[in-house]
Amino acid sequence: MIATSRPDGFEVTLTLTPEAGSVWFVFDGPKLVLRADGTLPAGEAPLPVVDVTPLGTLDGTSYLAAGLEGDLPGDFQSIPVRSCFGRLPEHHMGLAGYAAQVIEFARTHRYCGRCAAPLSDTTHERSRRCPNCGLTVYPRVAPVAMVLIRRGQGRDTELLLGRSPHFPPGMYSALAGFVEPSETLEAAARREVQEEVGVQITDLRYQFSQPWPFPHSLMLGFTAEYAGGDITPQPGEIDDARWFPITDLPTLPAAFSIARALIDGAVRDSGRGL
């Protein structure tokens, strides 16, 4: 299981009745509400909520998502979902991302984008349908192609990493960009590399994916070998990009991210290990 994915064994259910053992993912705006002790709210109605949305069941426990109604009670706290990594159990962290995307869908798709009529939940899938014109809408999932470029072998391996203007100081990562309409993942990966750093790649290989609910991306990880060209950072998108020896890497993304998983894999493949 990847930290932001639904856990194995979780069964999606579109109809659930809250009960004493139910666990809730309640959102105060974009933040997740936790008890003062850092655990998730539980019970039939632990908080005043709106947009109650069944998520599913895991090991006999039912899970629901909702938005907070009114002010946050004093015996609760709200924190950014990203900050929950390391605080919540891994299976709850995966469900927190799922819940965040489902609630964002409920908040942003109340009315039909074609005729402005109120939308209604469907009963057979995670979607909303317009009773007036028939338009059906689904939760947004934006695919992102991420590419880790390598050159050299063994301990002489180097990784081409870049930094976005939005990164913390000193942090570098693999290159990434959104997939365009009518574009294959492979074409998107090559295009993003060319746009962001101006180099050519070969031996492009898909590795794995990761749901990234910040707010609604699906990260698709690739590795590739350097084929030629000089690094030319894309203005406005890439502050800096350079080759880093596998033995002297900069500050890297968080351990739960797909970028870090790709980089850690390259380090292991080089024989160095972390």
CATH of span 142-271: 3.90.79.10
Q: What are the domain boundaries of the chain?
A: 11-109, 142-271
Helices (H), the chain: 90-108, 185-197, 258-269
What are phi and psi for residue 54, nearest 5 degrees?
-65, 140
Contacts of 242 (CB under 8 A, 6+ apart): 160, 161, 172, 231
Q: Which residue has the higher pLDDT, 98 or 1?
A: 98
Mean pLDDT, rounded, for 121-127: 95
Q: What's the rounded Cα separation, in Å, for the pair 242 and 239?
A: 11
Cα 147 to Cα 5, 189, 224: the distances in Å are 20, 6, 7
With beta carbons less than 8 A apart as the criterion, state whether 253 and 173 touch. Answer: yes
pLDDT at 1 over 50: no
Q: Which residue has the higher pLDDT, 16 or 200?
A: 200
Pairing of strands 217-228, 142-151: parallel
Pairing of strands 61-68, 23-28: parallel
At 271 the pLDDT is 83
Mean pLDDT, rounded, for 226-240: 97
In terms of pTM, does the model score above 0.75? yes
Q: What's the rounded Cα separation, in Å, for the pair 54 and 13?
A: 6
Q: Report the 10 Å Cβ neighbour count for 47.
A: 17
142-271 shares the fold of 11-109: yes
List the Cα angle 102/209/190 in 5-degree steps.
Answer: 120
User: Helix (H, G, I), strand (E, B), or coil: what is residue 143?
Assistant: strand
Contacts of 24 (CB under 8 A, 6+ apart): 40, 41, 42, 43, 46, 47, 49, 63, 64, 65, 66
pLDDT in tens, 57-93: 999 999 999 999 999 999 999 999 989 988 899 899 9
Q: How far is CA 172 from the centre of its chain?
A: 18
CATH of span 11-109: 3.90.79.20
Tell me the two tokens of residue 133: 């014109």
Tell me the two tokens of residue 131: 């009773």
> In the chain, what percentage of residues exceed pLDDT 70?
98
Mean pLDDT score of the chain: 95
Mean pLDDT, rounded, for 100-108: 95
User: Helix (H, G, I), strand (E, B), or coil: what is residue 218?
Assistant: strand
At 272 the pLDDT is 64
User: Helix (H, G, I), strand (E, B), or coil: what is residue 128?
Assistant: strand
Per DSSP, 214 falls in state: T
